[in-house]
Amino acid sequence: MKMMIEGSMGVAYMVMRCRPNVIAAYPITPQTHIVEDLSQFKADGELSGEFINVESEFGAASVVLGAQAAGARAYSATTSQGLLLMGEVLFNMAGMRLPVVITVANRAISAPISIWNDHSDAMVMRDSGWIMLFAEDNQEAADMHPQAYKIGENPEIMLPVMINMDGFILTHAVETVDIPSQKEVDEFLPPYKPEEYLNVENPLTFGNLAEPQWYMETRYKLQETQEDAKALIEKIADEYKGKFGRYHGGLIDTYRMDDAERVFVAMGSIIGTLKDVVDDLRARGEKVGILKIRSFRPFPKEKIREVCGHVKELLVLEKAISFGLGGVLQEELRSTFYGQKHQPKVLGFVLGLGGRDIPPKSLIKLYEVSKGKEISNEFVDLRPEVAPKGSLVTL
């Protein structure tokens, strides 16, 4: 059913449709509305899963870990400081091959404290072994949830999945979201039936100590599984399309890229804004398109190379930076094309940190003034008093 609702509500509905047995979450802006909606569903008897109020994000992650290990389908949501506090548990969960799904309402990291959006939080978890997806709009964020469970719970995969949606920009935005019926979701997503879980009939031990003669193999397998997940992510996106008629891309998505020479690369809600920008530039005769990274882990190098065969320049727009190095996405893209036959130029921009608004006109300006330049880690829309000399686009 199509509804004009908040992004958080859309996610809450879809999570409920996935029939999680156990939900545990700790409040943190801007994730709060998702769990508030879920607890209201529970209070009204609509949600049959358990809703556990915990004492911290560390506790929340641990509770869902335990639940999933006991054969339940589990769910949590968090962001920023909460995600960092979960860190130890998240790495552990991937290593234990527990296909939990969590939603991250992406937000900046302290200090200074900021409740506003950027992608720094998710980036911290990029080595964790989790599958990491980024949603462009609220429909996609909602639709990603059944897909995520289906990907993670695949017996050949068994990995947790993190769905990233921009805090406030998506979570608090009211727009149309089509929520499928329970029956339809049930048809798409079968119940979770793991081969191994904590039960007295088959009393296995989970979470052993691995001495040096054993540990490295588990890591190799985790990496191999991440590679394997690439095909599955695409397959399940197609399946979803078949069932629900909606497709937001597989590992990636493209927009007007066919003959594009300069291509914006980005993740999350900025894709929407970029679409307007690209239409605008196209109208002025620019050969420009968008490459949307939907799966950040596994990182779809092959797919990216495939669609960029004819592209001359990538303009990477990202909402995070690895201090002392540079923008994460631009680094990974440069590496993607390193040593390849076709090596498009990669320009890198950092923008939107801590909720800095990203107006189309700044994007158009950076598109224009960056032509012919070599650019890395260029901060966009800094206050002029702080921006370094020669900044391309300031406030």
Ligand X SMILES: Cc1ncc(C[n+]2csc(CCOP(=O)(O)OP(=O)(O)O)c2C)c(N)n1
Nearer residue to ligand X within complex by CB, 111 or 325: 111
Nearer residue to a second copy within complex by CB, 139 or 273: 273
Identify what 286 binds: ligand X, another protein, a second copy, none; CB under 5 to 8 Å per kind: none
State in angstroms the smallest separation of the CB of 166 from another protein.
8
Interface of this chain with another protein, residues 107 to 126, rule: CB under 8 A: 110-113, 115-116
Per-residue DSSP letters for 13-78?
A: HHHHHT--SEEEE---TTTHHHHHHHHHHHHTT---SEEEE-SSHHHHHHHHHHHHHTT--EEEEE
Nearer residue to ligand X within complex by CB, 13 or 26: 26
Interface of this chain with another protein, residues 295 to 354, rule: CB under 8 A: none
Pairing of strands 22-25, 252-255: unpaired
Identify what 55 binds: a second copy, another protein, ligand X, none; CB under 5 to 8 Å per kind: another protein
Residues 25-44, mask of contacts with ligand X (x by CB under 6 A): -xxx----------------
Per-residue DSSP letters for 222-274?
A: HHHHHHHHHHHHHHHHHHHHHHHS----SSEEEES-TT-SEEEEE-TTHHHHH
Identify what 223 binds: a second copy, ligand X, another protein, none; CB under 5 to 8 Å per kind: a second copy
Phi-psi region of 340 (alpha: psi -120 to 50; beta: other; left: phi over 0): beta
State in angstroms the smallest separation of the CB of 338 from a second copy.
4
Q: Which stretch binds ligand X (CB under 6 A): 24-32, 223-231, 273-281, 380-388?
A: 24-32
For residue 107 the two structure tokens come to 């937000």
| Amino acid at the residue 115 | I
Residues 45-84, mask of contacts with another protein (x by CB under 8 A): x--xxx-xxxxxxxx--xxxxxxxxxxx-x------x---
Q: Which stretch binds another protein (CB under 8 A): 104-112, 182-190, 323-331, 336-344?
A: 104-112
Among 261, 234, 232, 248, smallest CA distance to 345 is for 261
Q: What angle do CA 103, 108, 109 make, to 5 degrees?
A: 105
Nearer residue to ligand X within complex by CB, 89 or 274: 89
What contacts 355, CB < 8 A, 6 or more positions away?
A: 108, 114, 115, 116, 117, 118, 168
d(CA 42, CA 58): 23
State in angstroms the smallest separation of the CB of 41 from a second copy.
30
Residues 183-222, mask of contacts with another protein (x by CB under 8 A): -------------x-xxx-xxxxxxxxxxx-x--xx--xx
Indicate whether 106 belongs to the interface with ligand X (CB under 6 A).
no
Among 365, 363, 394, smallest CA distance to 381 is for 394
Side-chain half-sphere exposure of 74, counting CA atoms within 13 A: 24
Q: What angle do CA 58, 59, 61 make, to 5 degrees?
A: 70
Interface of this chain with another protein, residues 214 to 273, rule: CB under 8 A: 214, 217-218, 221-222, 224-225, 228, 231-232, 269-270, 272-273
Nearer residue to ligand X within complex by CB, 162 or 311: 162
Identify what 289 binds: another protein, a second copy, ligand X, none; CB under 5 to 8 Å per kind: none
Nearer residue to a second copy within complex by CB, 126 or 282: 126
Q: What is the phi/psi pair of residue 154, to 5°?
A: -55, 130
Identify what 228 binds: ligand X, another protein, a second copy, none; CB under 5 to 8 Å per kind: another protein
Nearer residue to ligand X within complex by CB, 53 or 181: 53
The DSSP H or E segment spanning 175 is strand 174-178
d(CA 171, CA 384): 30
Q: Which stretch binds another protein (CB under 8 A): 20-28, 237-245, 259-267, 368-376?
A: 20-28
State in angstroms the smallest separation of the CB of 180 from another protein.
18
Among 1, 50, 42, smallest CA distance to 23 is for 50
The DSSP H or E segment spanning 78 is strand 74-78
Interface of this chain with ligand X, residues 70 to 99, rule: CB under 6 A: 81-82, 85
> How many residues bind to ligand X according to rule CB under 6 A?
7
Look at residue 276 and give its three-state secondary structure: helix
What residue ranges bind ligand X (CB under 6 A)? 26-28, 57, 81-82, 85
